[in-house]
Chains A and B, each alone.
Chain A
Amino acid sequence: MPNIEQKEKIRAAYIDYVLTHGERPATVYVFMKELGIAEEDFYIHFSTFDSVDASAWRVSFNHTLEAITTQDVFAGYSSREKILAFYFGLVEHLKTNRSYVTWCFKSTSKLQFNNPPYLTDFKKMFEDFANEVIQQGISSGEIIDRKLISDKYKDALWVQLVFIIHFWIDDNSTEFEKTDEAIEKGVNITFDLMAQSPLDSMVEYGKFLWRNVAFKK
C-alpha cells in the first residue's frame, strides 16, 4: 500500500474512532489492531495520537488555503479581504468535519485555550500566511508599521481565528449566518486597528514636541 494512502487511512480511522467513542483509543496498539495494520506502520507516519490530530488540522489548513487562492478574485484582494477569505474558507471547510472540530475544542483544557497541541503546526502555517498578508498590507499602506507592535499583528489574527471557531461551534443560526457576521465585523475591527489612526498621529506629534519643545528647557 502506498504510504500516502495508508496515512490517510489511519487518520480517517482515527477520526472515526474518536467521533464514535467520544474519546481517543486507549493505545496505538489497540487502535492499529482493530484497523488490521501492524502497529509499527503507525509510527512511519505519526509519533502519537497528538500528531494525528495535528496532521488533520494541517490538512484543513492546506485545503482552505488552496480553495481560496485558486479563486480568480483572490489575487486582487486587499489584505483585509485575504484574511476574510481565509476565515470564511476555513469555516466552510470545517463544516464537513464539524463534529471532529467540536470534539477537539471541547476536549481542550481552558489553559490551552489559544494554543492547543493539535493546532501547533496549523498555527505556524497560519502565521506564515498572515505575515505575508500583513507585509503586503504594510507595503500597500493598508496597514501601518508600528515599532514593536507590528510583530504582534499576526498574534491578534490568530486569537481572532480561535475565537471564530469557538463562536462557530456555539452558533445555532441558519447556515451559520451569525458566524459570517462575526467574521466580517471582527476582521473590520482588527484591520481598522492596524490601519493609520488618530493615535498614531498623536504619538508622532508627542515625539515631535518632546524633541523640539521640552528638550529646549
Chain B
Amino acid sequence: MKEQDSIATGKVERSAKFVKTGIKVGGNYLKHYTKKLFDADLTKDQLNQDNAEDIYESLSELKGSALKVAQMLSMDKSIMPKAYVDQFSKSQYNAPPLSGPLIVRTFSKYFGKTPDKIFDTFDIKSSNAASIGQVHRATKDGKNLAIKIQYPGVAESISSDLKLVKPFAFRLLGMSEKELDIYMKEVEQKMVEETDYILEVQQSKKFAEACQSLKNVVFPAYYPELSSPRIITMDWVEGLHLKEWLATNPTQEQRNTIGQALWDFYNFQMHTLKEVHADPHPGNFIITPDCKLGVLDFGCVKALPMDFYTPYFSLIIGDTLNDKAKTIQCFRELEMILDKDDAQAIDFYYNWYQKMIRLFAQPYINSSFDFSNKQFMQELYTFGEQLTKMPEFKQARGVKHFIYVNRTNFGLYAILSELDAQILTNQYANA
C-alpha cells in the first residue's frame, strides 16, 4: 500500500476535499436524474452506490476523525441504505500509514529515545490502521507487543472536522442542523476522549480487570510506562480478525463459543458495569488460536446513566411493553415521545416505537436465539429503512445516549449474525 504521509489537517485543505466530494455527489444526482429521464424504472440504488463511493474516497483520504465518522455511520446500518453500508464497511480496515521519520519523532518526543532504543525490535512499517492512529509490531524482553501511535493533529482537528461532516450527515440522515446538534456534541465529546491515550490505557486496564471472570474473553496487558498521550504499548494478541477467521471455516461449535463470549461480554458490561466498549466493529476483535475472543481498543467507552438504563432495559428485557401506559411513560423518559406531541402523535409514535423495540428485543424473548436466521437482520434493516422514509421520523428523537447504545447494539447483532452463532441469551446473569 502506498504510504500517505500526511492527513489533510488544515481546515482549508479539508474543506477543499469535502467541496470536491460535494461536487461529485451533486454530479451523481445529476447523472441519476438524467438517466431517469430515459429510464423511469431506475431505482436510487445506483445513485446511493455512486455517492457512497465518492464520500468514502474523500473520507479515507482525510483519515482522522472523518474516518471515524464513516465507521460510525457504517455501524448504524439500520438507518443507512445498503450501498452506503457496503462502502463504509471498507473504512473499517486499512487506511494508509504515516511516514517512518514521524513515528521516530513521536517516540523521541515523548520518551527521549527512538523506538529501536526502547524496544528490542520495532517494525517501522505499520501492520494496520486504527482510524486515528496506526499499529506497529515490536518485541521487548521476549514479549510480542503492539504499539499504537496516534496521528498528530487529530485531537485538534476533530471539531473542525465534524463541522465539515455535518452537511453530509444532514443529507444522509435527512435531519436539520438544530436536531442533529445534540448528537454531534455527544459524538464530538466521545471522539475527543478517544484521542486521549492515557485515558484509554486506564480504561483498558479497568475493563480487563472487571471482566476477568468472563469465560473465553481475553485482554492484552497494557504497559503504562511505555505509553504516552500519543502512544499505547500493549501485548500483541495472536490470532485472526473476524473476517479472516470466518474464512478458515470454523465449526458451528466454535462460532457459538465466540458468539457467546461476545454476548456475555456485552451484557456483563451493560448490566453489571453500566459502561460499555462502544466500538464493536469487527477490527476491534481478535480470535485467538485457542478459540477465545480477544478484545482491543477501549478508547470509546459509553457510560449508561440510570435514568437511561432503567427505562431502556425495562422495555427490552422487562414486560413493560405489555402495558401501554407504562410503555408511553418510558418513551417519554427517553424523549422518544415529546411533551409537545398531541394525542394522535403519541399514538403514532407509540405504535411504531413499540414495533421497533419488539423486533429489536427478539433475541431476548426466549432463552436462546439463532443469529444465523438472516431474516431477523433483514427485518431490522428493512424496518429501519422504512422508518427513515417516513416524514415523521425525519425529526430526531430520543436522548443523546441512543447514538452510542444503538451503535453498540447493532454492531453486536451484526457481528453475531456474521458469525451465524446460536446464543444462550439469558446467560449473562450467570457470567
Contact = CB atoms under 8 A, between A and B. Distances in A.
B382 interface: no
Contacts of A71: 104, 114, 116
A180 B104 CA distance: 12
A73 interface: yes
Would you call the interface of chain A mostly helix, strand, loop, or mixed?
helix
A175 B6 contact: no
A84 B51 CA distance: 36
B238 interface: no
Interface string B140-157: 000000000000110010
B5 A181 contact: no
A73 B116 contact: yes
B5 A184 contact: yes
A110 interface: no
Interface string A54-81: 0000000000000010011100110011
Nearest to A93: B108
B318 interface: no
A195 to B, nearest CB: 12
Counting from the closest, the 5 A-B pairs by CB-CB distance are: A85-B101, A84-B101, A88-B105, A184-B6, A177-B152
Interface string A154-194: 00000000000000000001010110110111011000000
Contacts of B100: 73, 77, 81, 84-85
Nearest to B114: A71
6 contacts: A73-B116, A92-B109, A173-B156, A175-B109, A185-B5, A185-B9
A181 B114 CA distance: 19
A173 B229 CA distance: 14
B interface bracket (residues with beta carbon within 8 Å of A): 20 to 34
Interface string B192-203: 000000000000
A138 to B, nearest CB: 20
B124 to A, nearest CB: 5
B212 interface: no
Contact of B6 (A77, A81, A181): A181
Interface string B110-152: 1000101000000010000000000000000000000000001
A81 B99 contact: yes
Interface in A179-213: 180-181, 183-185, 187-188
Given A71-B104, A73-B124, A88-B104, A181 B153 contact: yes
B102 interface: yes
A207 B124 CA distance: 43
Contacts of B153: 177-178, 180-181
A156 B106 CA distance: 26
A184 B5 CA distance: 6
A216 B236 CA distance: 68
B158 to A, nearest CB: 14
Contacts of B116: 71-73
Specify which of B9, B98, B100 lies most central, judged by the most chain A CB atoms within 10 Å of its CB: B100
A178 B154 CA distance: 11
Contact of B99 (A72, A89, A175, A184): A184
A188 B5 contact: yes
Contacts of A92: 105, 108-109
B101 A181 contact: no
B13 to A, nearest CB: 8
Interface string B1-35: 00001100100000000000000000000000000
Most buried by A among B6, B106, B124: B6
B102 A184 contact: yes
A104 to B, nearest CB: 23
Contacts of A180: 102, 105-106, 152-153
Contacts of B102: 84, 88, 180, 183-184
Contacts of A84: 5, 99-102
Given A184-B98, A185-B5, 14 more contacts: A71-B114, A73-B100, A73-B104, A77-B100, A80-B5, A84-B100, A85-B104, A177-B152, A180-B105, A180-B106, A181-B153, A184-B5, A185-B6, A185-B9
A88 B101 contact: yes
A131 B101 CA distance: 19
Interface in B39-59: none
Interface in A74-104: 76-77, 80-81, 84-85, 87-89, 92
A173 B154 CA distance: 13
A177 B98 CA distance: 14
B6 A177 contact: no
Nearest to A91: B105
A72 to B, nearest CB: 5
A16 B41 CA distance: 81
Contacts of A68: 101
B256 to A, nearest CB: 45
Contacts of B98: 184
A205 to B, nearest CB: 26
A181 to B, nearest CB: 5
B229 to A, nearest CB: 8
